[in-house]
Amino acid sequence: MEKRILICASRVSHILNFHLPYIEYFKNKNYRVDIAVEGTTDNSMIDNCYDMKFTKNPFSPDNLKTIGLLKKIMSENNYDIIYSNSTLAGAASRIAVKSLKNKPYIIHISHGYMFGDGDGIKSKLYLLAEKLTGNVTDSLVVMNKDDLELAEKYNLGKNIYYINGMGLVSENFPEISNSEKSAIRQSIGVSDDMKMLLCVGEFSKRKNQTAVIEAFDMLLKKHKDIMLVFAGEGDMLEVCRQLSHKYELDTNIRFLGQVEDICKLYRCSDILVTASKMEGLPFNVMEALYCALPVVATDIKGHRDLISHGKNGLLTHIDYMDIYSKLDEILSDTKLYSYIKKNTFLDEKYLIKNAEPELLKILDKEYTEEFVT
């Protein structure tokens, strides 16, 4: 009999960016692999792609429609495994499972809980959703120590596992020559004698790029030869463009949009800066560290797992004043920068060759059922 797996995520890009090695594994084991996401793909390893809408507002009627559609798809296809990812898709898919007669084996990967102890009402709603679906979550996977503590404290899964992320594909980040670095910088208006600050990620309130711009506005008053480069798209992009224009920063900020070959930007930058308010185990920080790029990052879960303050980067409070302070410190103190640059590398445990086997032990239902009994 054909074995079937349904992989759920909020965006098709999430599947294509992080899960193709795992999809290939299931295809090699003769699984039919379907995905339920917002968006479409013609990737040959995916048998069926169900395009559906996930809305960030938890009270949106669109999410109820999506839950109903997921239940219908699950009922009709009789999946052996449901493998869910991210907050919205993870909650919707597991709520749909709760009403099924024949429940499949459920694996959920948390890419960063959107709640914490002592947070506000919206955060409490996210926690409630995780509590309500914990009893159908056979295997729960988390990727930072803070989330592990939360998962164990609230019993958010029958079996809870800690992994070192989805795995960084090191082959995608080769070194480049000095002449190529110079050419890339020149192409975006950054001269060789300027310091290039890079910010990578979807433009959103959670990623908090407005704080980076506000910090940069102060920084530019002291450091003249600096450029801030953004790579990414998202709902808050236009807001950030307008903020940059308001502060008259247009000559010192570049918005590059979605960048296909992000490796080259890491390789020719001087500092990665991120003001994110919440993360799981962020790829942008792992990628920067692998490319020996010092990082200035907010002191939050996920960042703390990767950054040792004063060694391979600097940790800062979320407010723009402290972000400015840490950027000013690393730009002003050449000895500090050189020390951090020398100690900037990514531990091999985060590379796909080491992370993939550990995650596959959990994703493989047959192995996991034997392992947890």
Looking up residue 144, the CATH number of its domain turns out to be: 3.40.50.2000
What is the predicted pLDDT for the residue at 86?
87
Q: What is the rounded average pLDDT for all residues in the chain?
A: 93
> Does residue 50 sit in the same domain as residue 73?
yes
What is the predicted pLDDT for the residue at 122?
79
Q: What is the pLDDT of residues 266-322, one digit of tens each?
A: 999 999 999 999 999 999 999 999 999 999 999 999 999 999 999 999 999 999 999
Q: What is the pLDDT of residues 7-57, one digit of tens each?
A: 999 999 999 989 999 999 999 999 999 999 999 999 999 999 999 998 877
Number of structural domains in the chain: 2
Q: What is the pLDDT of residues 313-372, one digit of tens each?
A: 999 999 999 999 999 999 999 999 999 999 999 999 999 999 999 999 998 865 455 434
> Does residue 278 sit in the same domain as residue 159?
no
Q: Mean pLDDT across the stretch 70-98?
A: 94
Query: Which residues contact residue 85 at a Cβ distance below 8 angstroms, ignoring those fewer than 6 apart?
Result: 7, 8, 9, 10, 14, 18, 19, 108, 109, 111
> Does residue 243 sit in the same domain as residue 263?
yes
Q: Are 89 and 19 in contact (CB under 8 A)?
A: no
pTM: 0.91
> Does residue 160 sit in the same domain as residue 203?
no
Could you tell me what percent of the chain has a pLDDT over 90? 85
Give the pLDDT band of residue 58 (cuts 50, 70, 90): low
Query: In which domain, by residue range, is 33 found?
Result: 3-166+352-372
Give the pLDDT band of residue 2 (cuts 50, 70, 90): confident
> Does residue 346 sit in the same domain as residue 356?
no
| Tokens at 15, concatenated | 């599947």
> Does residue 122 sit in the same domain as residue 144?
yes
Q: What is the pLDDT of residues 165-214, one digit of tens each?
A: 999 999 999 999 999 999 999 999 999 999 999 999 999 999 999 999 99
What is the predicted pLDDT for the residue at 119?
65
> Does residue 322 sit in the same domain as residue 333?
yes
> Does residue 79 sit in the same domain as residue 210?
no
Q: How many of the other CB atoms lie within 10 Å of CB of 333?
A: 12
> Does residue 193 sit in the same domain as residue 314?
yes
> Does residue 19 sit in the same domain as residue 160?
yes
> Does residue 150 sit in the same domain as residue 230?
no
What is the predicted pLDDT for the residue at 371?
39
> Does residue 262 sit in the same domain as residue 288?
yes
Give the pLDDT band of residue 118 (cuts 50, 70, 90): low
Q: What is the pLDDT of residues 237-251, one digit of tens each?
A: 999 999 999 999 999
